[in-house]
Structure 1
């Protein structure tokens, strides 16, 4: 079972995706940060570095309240800081001493990490897993206001690619060139990061 973190990367940055309703996306693009009257800082917000997993989750920008897909650039060092604080969203006996220890860590962390089945363009499950990371509290504020380097609304691109999927013209389909994310800190936490979770998607994009 393959469980590497993959995403579109430059030398210093990695792209993560979120899908929102129009007013949240409009604020994000205009202000180059997350916020506004419709954004809920009291909720956990989930980011996904894998493009096709985001497409499956938002239905290629057709699901309610997920009509706009944002590509968000953040520095790799900040992405690592988020990962360093992550606790798996479900108990794994190979990682945590006891279920009580896991629950304690989960209650004290502002970052949750979850592995789910990745999907191909048609929505079929793949053997490999895709990661998503949830943030709340101060970490969410840091992400929304400090860590973000650039936000782009890629909804037009997404909808064009969906047409190729619907027409079964996959040879015309364009998706970001993704590669495995590696770092010293990720290597130190390889076992934690590479343990899949079958927990259902929490719902918030």
Structure 2
């Protein structure tokens, strides 16, 4: 995967794990928290599931957990870096290159269980910034790996997101900023072809 100064993964991570975010309804969130991973049902093992390392992009997507009931619970999911790196190494863009034929695009998708999409990063007011943040769509063979091997810990951060949102609404941006996770530029390991 090629990165540019405009397209860099920024995330909260340590030596072993990287944190990603997802938003779900109560049923999926409660079963995941009880089991320490996603449980099917209600979680779907056949649909692509999108994980987002950017906290503020997740807030934009889910409206701070207030957008709709299907995204009312915000989960912070710590996954093994080896798994995340494997996902990057087995990915393709979510859209074909203009020069690709339909056949080439179909083959690339069939060979790549993971999709990558870059979207404008967001600030505390959820306004777009000049650089982009990554979304990772985990599908096909990657979904059971995500659920059974990569996930190390799931934390419900819904209350935290509501607290930060309240501070933003009251104009207390400096205080809200102190509550954000520290996201640094993430570098993929060179030994990420196997897990």
TM-score of the aligned structures, taking structure 2 as reference length: 0.88
Aligned runs of 1:116-155 on 2, under 5 Å?
A: 116-155=119-158
Aligned to 1:159, the other structure's residue is in SS state: helix
Deviation at 1:184, TM superposition (A): 4.2
Deviation at 1:91, TM superposition (A): 2.1
User: Are the equivalent residues in 2 in contact too, given 1:17–1:49 (CA < 8 A)?
Assistant: yes
What stretches of structure 1 of length at least 5 have no aligned partner?
187-205
- Which of 5, 19, 25 is residue 9 of structure 2 equivalent to? 5
User: Are the equivalent residues in 2 in contact too, given 1:15–1:49 (CA < 8 A)?
Assistant: yes
Off by >4 Å, runs of 4+ in structure 1: none
Match of residue 184 from structure 2:
179
CA change 1:183–1:108 in 2 (3 A) is: closer
Match of residue 60 from structure 1:
64
Deviation at 1:98, TM superposition (A): 2.8
Comparing 144-153 with 106-115, greater Cα deviation is found at 106-115
Q: Deviations over 1:84-109 (max 9, x none)?
A: 0011011235xxx6344233201332
- Which of 73, 97, 100 is residue 98 of structure 1 equivalent to? 100
What stretches of structure 2 of length at least 5 have no aligned partner?
none
CA change 1:9–1:162 in 2 (3 A) is: same
User: Are the equivalent residues in 1 in contact too, given 2:11–2:184 (CA < 8 A)?
Assistant: yes
User: Are the equivalent residues in 1 in contact too, given 2:85–2:189 (CA < 8 A)?
Assistant: no
TM-score of the aligned structures, taking structure 1 as reference length: 0.84
User: Are the equivalent residues in 2 in contact too, given 1:84–1:185 (CA < 8 A)?
Assistant: no
Deviation at 1:16, TM superposition (A): 0.5
User: Are the equivalent residues in 2 in contact too, given 1:5–1:131 (CA < 8 A)?
Assistant: yes
User: Are the equivalent residues in 2 in contact too, given 1:48–1:54 (CA < 8 A)?
Assistant: yes
CA change 1:142–1:166 in 2 (3 A) is: same
Q: Deviations over 1:159-178 (max 9, x none)?
A: 10000111111011110001
RMSD of aligned residue pairs (Cα, Å): 1.6
User: Are the equivalent residues in 2 in contact too, given 1:12–1:76 (CA < 8 A)?
Assistant: yes
Task: Give the Cα–Cα distance (whole angstroms) in 1 for the partners of residues 124 and 92 of structure 2.
Answer: 29
User: Are the equivalent residues in 1 in contact too, given 2:20–2:78 (CA < 8 A)?
Assistant: yes
User: Are the equivalent residues in 2 in contact too, given 1:32–1:151 (CA < 8 A)?
Assistant: yes
**Count of aligned pairs:** 183
